[in-house]
Amino acid sequence: MASTKPKSTHVADSILQPFLSPTFDPTAYLNATLPPLALSATAKQSPQALSLSELAAQTQTHISQLSAQTSRLSDILTHLADDILRSGSRLAYEVERLRGEAISLTEALTESLREDITKFVPEGLTIPSRNAHQTTQDAAPAPPPKTNPPTPTPPPPHLPPPHPHPQEGQAALLALRSSITTLLTPFPTPTTIEAARLRVAELRDLATVWKGTAEERPRARFVDGLAQLVDEAETKRLLQQEGSRSDARTALGGSQARGGRASAEIERSGSRAGGEGGGAGFLRRLREEIYLE
């Protein structure tokens, strides 16, 4: 059976080579792989002939080896299929992104930058007539043929180098997160919290553009993180509001207690003054008690 050179390293094992042949025959493969069976002890047999039990054991060993190779190739095929699915979603996203950039560039060149581009076109440029061009070609000698291929024109030096897209994406995500945190710091109010919730809702609606692509889950997790920031700010505001109310109730209770003690002292002073008599002595003792407090 002719062997075929494998096209992939996954099937480079020697045990798999017969299966790669386009003329693979199961009967010929088994006859070439397994030794002959010894039918009787008296008949003339091949030296490699084995008894039925020995042949069954060797066959089982060979089947186990083929089963292990089948399991390995099945796992490799599963991984390759997953990679193809992931790369397909990513490729579709990149195609849509490049399509949007191409449309934006076309609109910029044909609409917003049209007047600026026309400034570089010389005014009054005329195309010579065909007859004059033919006469000039007849009079002038033909230029010698070029033997060297033209060298590629280098790019203009004023063009900026391309920026990596992952860094631009991270900067955009940080800008969106900063727009939410700016609304919630330093002290969140009901107005700023409501504005932040509206902004998060807009971003959640925008994230539906990536539905069905590889970017769907990362975008959803990012929006969920922003929503969690808004919820934490709302909880913090409620706790601060409840703490302020508790402090106000505590201060009000202390003021009432101090007012009650002052009234009691005045009543006791009045009763002592009534028992001892009014006049300058009562006023002096009252003044001394106030100073002592």
For residue range 230-281, what is the model confidence (pLDDT) as tens digits? Answer: 898 888 888 888 877 777 677 666 666 565 665 666 666 555 545 554 555 6
The parent domain of residue 258 ranges over 169-293
Do both 204 and 285 map to the same domain? yes
Q: Is residue 113 part of a domain?
A: no
Q: Is residue 157 part of a domain?
A: no
CA atoms 220, 226, 229, 233: torsion sign: negative
pLDDT in tens, 143-182: 554 554 444 444 443 434 444 456 677 788 888 888 888 8
Q: Is residue 199 part of a domain?
A: yes
Specify the pLDDT at position 258: 61
Task: State the Cα–Cα distance between residues 16 and 269, nearest whole angstrom.
Answer: 114
Helices (H), 6-112: 26-33, 52-107
Do both 93 and 175 map to the same domain? no
Q: Is residue 42 part of a domain?
A: no
Q: Is residue 230 part of a domain?
A: yes
Do both 175 and 286 map to the same domain? yes
How many other C-beta atoms are found inside a 10 Å radius of the C-beta of residue 13? 13
Q: Is residue 263 part of a domain?
A: yes
Say if CB 230 and CB 193 are below 8 A apart.
yes
Burial bucket for residue 289 (CB in 10 Å: 0-12, 13-18, 19+): middle
Q: Quick check: bond before 26 cis, omega within 30?
A: no
Count of domains observed in the chain:
2
Top mean-pLDDT range of 132-136, 141-145, 158-162, 223-227: 223-227
Q: Is residue 154 part of a domain?
A: no
Q: Is residue 254 part of a domain?
A: yes
Task: State the Cα–Cα distance between residues 52 and 37, nearest whole angstrom.
Answer: 6
pTM (predicted TM-score) = 0.33
Higher pLDDT, 95 or 161: 95
